[in-house]
Chains A and B, each alone.
Chain A
């Protein structure tokens, strides 16, 4: 099976940069995904890393290191609307669905 670990809560100041880490254990997987979920809302796909390295999409970047079983989501120029839960997720090799980490609750404060 797969397991993913991420911090349960992170607090950061508006305008700052925050990094949410995700470590995982899986025997093989296609890539690491990140989802954002606001309270009462649906998870929204943010990014996907199939290969090692950094992927950048606007204010959000995601990183993967397969050799370290580690990835992170980097949020820059934080805005209040970025307050949400962030989930890392993997899909193991074969015909398997996404498995989510427990989620990190990000609170952006003024």
Chain B
């Protein structure tokens, strides 16, 4: 079993929809949770970073962490075609850094 599980998709939604991306994890030592966005043929770029359980909002993006359930989410509101990319969750703790498989998202105009 992988330490971090993420549905690879692909996920296709119409423009303007709310998108929900999720990861589950098994290692209780993970303390920091991140979401990266990766466009085709590019390196990943950090979108959101959270430490504790709860919600963190940044513009159209909301990151949610539930440590009791070992579950993290990224919500994208008013999705745009430019949001089409692969989204990777990542988590770190106890000198480990693990990425999810990535979810390929397409926003259709």
Q: Do A and B bind each other?
A: no
Q: Which of B's residues lie within 8 Å of A, judged by CB? A: none
Q: Which of A's residues lie within 8 Å of B, judged by CB? A: none
